Structure 1
Amino acid sequence: MDQKISNSEGAPQKPKNMVPWNERFSYSLSDFACNLSFQMVGTYLMIFYTDTFGISAAAVGTLFFVARFFDAVDGPIWGILIDHTHTRFGKSRPYWLWFSIPFAVFCVLVFTTPNLSLTGKLIWAYITYIGVDVLYSAVNIPITSILPSLTSNPQERVVLSTIRQFMGTAGAAIITGITLTMVAKFGGGSTTSARGWFIWALIVAIIVVIIFGIVFKNTKERVQTKSSRKSIPIKTAVKALRSNWPWAIIIFINFIYWLGMQTRSQVTVYFFKYNMHNTALSSFVLSLQFVSLIAVVLTPWTAKMIGKRNTMLGGMILACIGQLLLSLGAAHLSVSIIIVATIIGYLGTGYVSGLIAVMLADAVDYGEWKNGVRAEGIVTSFSSFSAKLGMGFGGVITGWILSATGYVANHAQSATALHGIELNYIWVPLLGFALSGLALAFYKVDGIEKQMLGDLAVKHARENAEDDDEK
């Protein structure tokens, strides 16, 4: 065993639960790679479909809705596969080796525009979008499922998740900030150029594959328990979810939070292109995600001082304030108010995103403590499922609202269509953030964490001693 969970008295040995800095950084690159690719898909795919590929907003919304049925099964399936995977590389880590290239290929295909009829375009969009969605789970779920295996120290998990979120946010800010510029560069000055989108997607995909190779090489699954060293039957693994209310709360928050984030991000270009008549400003506003890195850096300290739940709740409140200020900026077409509102909102979401993975790792511990079953794969797989479900419904809502309010691609929009864009950009996200904050009122793991981890340390020490005796 690479890492002892406890000493002979069952007390945690925190110094032995620390992760080396090179591994911390390598782990964080996993989210950087995911955000480079999937944030490009999440932020720009709708406007690529409507303004470049020539698919209607309603058809795109329906596509995003249909894709959610595949998400209903693919996330848990990947989780079950992880729980049944036992290789010399570990349980979660091999998936970066096996699926990074297929994922990258589909990230290119989804931004490819073959010369097809409208029906052919729809078929192509369905195949490539569902493909990139399913393969995203294959490389993204291991990022969360491996966290409980990197360390059993709760504060170290916060540090790891913070560094991961820092790099993930940096990746998102970079890709959303420069994508339109790069598309125009490779597309002869046009942000709707099919050639520009393809070349830029190909460059990003190559970078993603290289990064995942680094992540695979430099991470290590060191926390081993009796249950983690053997395959867990599906019926047994599901028991980890029974009465696991921390898991249920975080999964709900992950769904509604990402629904709001998706509606805002994918309509940002629409808002600045049509409401503000300044497309270039959308790249600047999206790049302001770098501001959230301030909150990300402060997260470990804040979580230690006031708890993880209260830190996330504070982030949700800031996000709500940011959306309310956005409504004021939109009403007065004030760029300065919109920028201030965006900065406040990103500070709030900076506190939120990194803690979701930590709280899911806590839910893995809670499932074992409550039900005696440690199933990292199935418990954390619902993170990807719920986030993609939320993002999918966000896409559905955006597409259908745009269609219902009369959006017409590459034309001046009616007052009703402009209102529909504003509804997606401001009010749907506000509702998502507010409901997430309300759900946090019922999350109370912080108060029982010390007892839970102490009991698990004793349990793991006993199981490991029994294994040593059997050997």
Structure 2
Amino acid sequence: MDKANVDVEKTNFVHWPERISYAASDFACNLSFGLISNFLMYFYTDAFGISAAVVGTLFLVARLVDAVDGPFWGIMIDHTHTRWGKSRPYWLWFSIPYAIFCVLTFTTPNISVQGKIVWAYITYIGVDVLYSSVNIPITSVLPNLTPNPNERVTLSTIRQFFGTAGGTIISVVALPLVQALGHGDQRKGFFLTTLIMAILSAIILLNTFANTRERVQTKNSQKALPIKTSLKALKHNWPWAVIIFINFIYWLGMQTRNQVAVYFFKYNMHAAWLTSIMLGLQLAALLTVAITPWASKRFGKRNTMLTGMLVAILGQLLMAIGAKTLNVWVIVAANIVVNLGTGLVSGLIAVMLADSVDYGEWKNGVRAEGIVTSFSSFSAKFGMGIGGAITGWILNAGGYVANHAQTASSLNAITANYVWVPIIGFALSAIALIFYKVDSFEGQMQSDLRKKHLRENAEDNK
């Protein structure tokens, strides 16, 4: 490697305080939005008094809104040019509004059933839109933190480590906190639990704003990009298309699995207290998250992620046995295997999206971090929303009735959501990965881009 490239990588090295501040953003998002993704359907059906079918439709309608709000935030980022950068300001501007809507989503006014449905639509869609405003910048800022591919994997791995920790913590403590703070009143318990998590999340996101820096400066990053120009970054951007599809179908499966867990252990296992323990087994993912930088460097990002998908499928097949026999230890083992697999997946999605930003610039001459990465949040939330809708519809079709003994058909509906829908999501993701080819030419792409950025910066300084 020539001296200029070595100097670029040294100059753009991200030190540990900033790494931690960046990673903490995902911890904050998972801490607060984890309540929504894992427990909101249960809250709506078993505490707020809305039917599963209505909730499923709400989740689908929210996804239609995402078709607009995800790209909207991406375009806004591409049009943003401040002294703080392009992505960072959104944590400053929207952390507190997002926290407020988190609390409103779990607020239960004493109104009619129709009023509750309207309230649910307004607050859920509101928090969903605002989540994008603070979550999309986590991915869009990554290509601008450093141009070094290995450093990006490190940053994304640390981010995923923190994100998994945040998701695990809320999964473990949520229901016990609801019980303790509400003294048996689930409505009060969910409200107070959300209030605590929302305040913590806002503080952490503001810290991320204060302690990160956008270093990769190009002609595009110095000015607002017209929408038409931004969209050129997507032209023939096949790596982007593959990762966006994977992000959609992977999170569809994960959402059905996570949000129906409380139903599975409450009604199928007759041991609701197991929910926190089983969701807490997400900690197993930290083991594989930790080896992701080594594995991706040794075997390539695609092969590492593909291995994770196959391991997750194996775990879900083991889960099918556990669900059939209602054997707790088989279910424990299955959860551990699934989480070991997903640990190799989640962190690499952001890295491979950052690579698609580079690919768009390399092939089309346009670097549009906002529009390219905004589809990450859109596709993930769209997948989670469709997964939520599928869950609600399957439960309704099975005859689910909240807080009652369930029929055989409703128990089968719960099992279908917990076992089989995730398998389909993981399998389709694995097939899509076959078409991801960036690893084979990444070195040449990064070399060409480094030379391009040095040349452009030299021209700007004349």
TM-score between the two structures when normalised by the length of structure 2: 0.99
Answering whether residue 94 of structure 2 is matched by residue 99 of structure 1, we say: yes
Q: Who is 2:309 aligned against?
A: 316
Q: Deviations over 1:390-430 (max 9, x none)?
A: 00000100000000000000000000000000000000000
Answering whether residue 447 of structure 2 is matched by residue 454 of structure 1, we say: yes
**CA–CA distance in 2 between the matches of 1:233 and 1:196?**
47
**CA–CA distance in 2 between the matches of 1:386 and 1:330?**
30
Contact 1:11 1:458 in 2 (8 A): no
**CA–CA distance in 1 between the matches of 2:186 and 2:278?**
22
Answering whether residue 434 of structure 2 is matched by residue 441 of structure 1, we say: yes
**CA–CA distance in 1 between the matches of 2:188 and 2:175?**
13
Q: Who is 1:3 aligned against?
A: none
Q: Who is 1:339 aligned against?
A: 332
**CA–CA distance in 1 between the matches of 2:96 and 2:220?**
31
Contact 1:79 1:141 in 2 (8 A): yes
Q: Who is 2:82 aligned against?
A: 87
Task: Tell me by how many angstroms 1:16 deviates.
Answer: 2.4
**Aligned match for 1:218, one of 191, 202, 211:** 211
Q: Who is 1:275 aligned against?
A: 268
Answering whether residue 261 of structure 2 is matched by residue 246 of structure 1, we say: no
Of 9-18 and 164-173, the range deviating more from structure 2: 9-18
Q: Who is 1:157 aligned against?
A: 152
SS at match of 1:279: coil
SS at match of 1:262: helix
Contact 1:274 1:413 in 2 (8 A): yes
Answering whether residue 453 of structure 2 is matched by residue 466 of structure 1, we say: no
Contact 2:81 2:221 in 1 (8 A): no
SS at match of 1:172: helix
Answering whether residue 70 of structure 2 is matched by residue 109 of structure 1, we say: no
Q: Deviations over 1:363-397 (max 9, x none)?
A: 00000000000000000000000000000000100
**CA–CA distance in 2 between the matches of 1:268 and 1:172?**
14
SS at match of 1:238: helix
1:389 maps to amino acid: F
Q: Deviations over 1:73-132 (max 9, x none)?
A: 000000000001011111000000100000000100000110010110000000000000
Q: Which runs of 5+ in 1 are unaligned?
A: 1-5
SS at match of 2:425: helix
SS at match of 1:171: helix
SS at match of 2:457: helix
Q: Who is 1:284 aligned against?
A: 277
**Aligned match for 2:47, one of 45, 49, 52:** 52
Contact 2:103 2:191 in 1 (8 A): yes
Task: Tell me by how many angstroms 1:7 deviates.
Answer: 7.0
Contact 2:77 2:86 in 1 (8 A): yes
**CA–CA distance in 2 between the matches of 1:354 and 1:375?**
21
Task: Tell me by how many angstroms 1:12 deviates.
Answer: 6.6
Contact 1:257 1:436 in 2 (8 A): yes
Q: Deviations over 1:328-381 (max 9, x none)?
A: 001111000000000000010011000000000000000000000000000000
**CA–CA distance in 2 between the matches of 1:12 and 1:460?**
13
Q: Which runs of 4+ in 1 moved over 6 A?
A: none
**CA–CA distance in 2 between the matches of 1:65 and 1:230?**
36
Q: How many residues align?
A: 462
**Aligned match for 1:297, one of 250, 265, 290:** 290
Task: Tell me by how many angstroms 1:226 deviates.
Answer: 1.4
Please provide the CA RMSD for this pair.
1.1
SS at match of 1:96: helix
**CA–CA distance in 1 between the matches of 2:103 and 2:322?**
36
SS at match of 2:221: coil
Of 344-353 and 14-23, the range deviating more from structure 2: 14-23
SS at match of 2:403: coil
Contact 2:12 2:215 in 1 (8 A): no
Q: Who is 2:58 aligned against?
A: 63
**CA–CA distance in 2 between the matches of 1:339 and 1:10?**
48
**CA–CA distance in 2 between the matches of 1:331 and 1:230?**
58
Task: Tell me by how many angstroms 1:228 deviates.
Answer: 1.1
Which residues in structure 2 correspond to 1:130-279 (within 5 Å)? 130-188=125-183, 190=184, 193-279=186-272
Aligned residues: percent identity?
A: 66
**CA–CA distance in 2 between the matches of 1:355 and 1:68?**
24
